[in-house]
Amino acid sequence: MSKFGFETDSTHHLIAKLKVDGKVVVKTRRSNQQGDLPSADKIRQQLRLNQTQFRAAIRCTLSRDDYLGILESKGILGDSD
């Protein structure tokens, strides 16, 4: 998460937010408890990645610029004016 520039807050949940130009564009959270982590598919969906992109993120072959490019191509980033 830090590779992509997510900011994290920790309470009873770990909340990670990706901000671009001061705007939160992606947010994910998981419990800080000892329970199970959310499924990989749930995390992938929260990050707005397809299976191939998620695998690249896990392998650390996806850069921040690549990730932002993916978000932009999906219309998640860009001008909202």
Per-residue pLDDT reduced to its tens digit, 30-75:
776 666 666 788 888 989 999 999 999 989 999 999 999 999 999 9
CA-CA distance, 15 to 32, in Å (whole number)?
Answer: 10
pLDDT of residue 37: 64
Pairing between β-strand 13-20 and β-strand 23-31 as defined by DSSP bridges: antiparallel
Determine, yes or no, domain membership for 78: no
Tell me the whole-structure pTM to 2 decimals: 0.74
* Per-residue pLDDT, 34: 62
Residue 81 lies in a domain: no
Give the range of the structural domain holding residue 69, as residue numbers without chain letter. Answer: 2-73
d(CA 35, CA 30): 10
Please, which pLDDT band fits residue 80 given cuts at 50, 70 and 90? very low
- Asked if 3 contacts 24 with a C-beta cutoff of 8 angstroms, the reply is no
> Does residue 29 form part of some domain?
yes
Q: What six digits make up the tokens of 17?
A: 């937010």
Burial of 55 (0-12, 13-18, 19+ CB in 10 A): middle
